[in-house]
Amino acid sequence: MRTEADFDINDFDERNIDSGKGNHVRFFMYPEKQEHESAEAGRPIFKDVEYIEILSGGSLNNIVIRAVLDMDKMRFRDQYRRFKETGEDVAEGTPLREIPWMEASFVHELAHMRIRTVEQLAEINDQACTTMPGLYDLKRKAGLWIKKSEAAAPFTALAEENAALLARIEALEAKKK
């Protein structure tokens, strides 16, 4: 298990917020060798320990892998809660495959970079954009798509409410006949 990190501290400096923004965070269990117990037993003894992997969005070099600290549980509380509930690495947000303008080939390339949601794509650092042609444009497009979606949310909710009311009226009218 790699426990050393080659990273830029600026990618991980917001330690007091629930910051999955621009980072891929994964909690997992790792069997850690217990040296003292192994020496006493004369055989290798391992204990499952909670580990965290933090990748600066889009960068394959800025990686931290280590045992989970209390700070991690607070900083990434939503991801940690999902890990405890499901035992899985779950990305929160809109999956890239659900974005109509996102090509399948980009979805696969970005998944390799651990970018799986449009929110993660919009938040990757500009330096990471140099690793893949067209990534900066995708980042910009993702940010604009999020802003437009947020602006349209009230209208979308009204349209859904209107459709539900129309369906209800039709059901009532069908009952009368």
Same domain flag for 97 and 173: yes
Same domain flag for 13 and 80: yes
pTM over cut 0.75: no
Name the domain boundary from 89, 107, 130.
89
User: How many residues are present in the chain?
Assistant: 177
Q: For the chain, how many structural domains are there in total?
A: 2
Q: Where in the sequence is the domain holding 167, given as residue range(s)?
A: 91-177
Same domain flag for 144 and 123: yes
Same domain flag for 105 and 85: no
Same domain flag for 14 and 97: no
| pLDDT digits (tens), the chain, 177 positions | 555 444 444 444 444 444 556 677 888 888 788 888 767 766 666 788 889 988 776 566 678 889 999 999 999 988 888 888 876 655 567 788 888 888 888 888 887 777 878 888 888 888 778 778 888 898 899 889 888 887 877 887 788 889 999 999 999 998 887
DSSP states of 103-163: -HHHHHHHHHTT--BHHHHHHS-TTGGGGSTTHHHHHHHHHHHHHHHHHHHHHHHHHHHHH
pLDDT at 92: 63
pLDDT at 9: 46
Same domain flag for 53 and 135: no
User: In what helix (H) or strand (E) does residue 38 lie, and over which residues does it extend?
Assistant: helix 35-41
- The enclosing domain of 98 has a CATH number of 1.10.150
Same domain flag for 97 and 120: yes
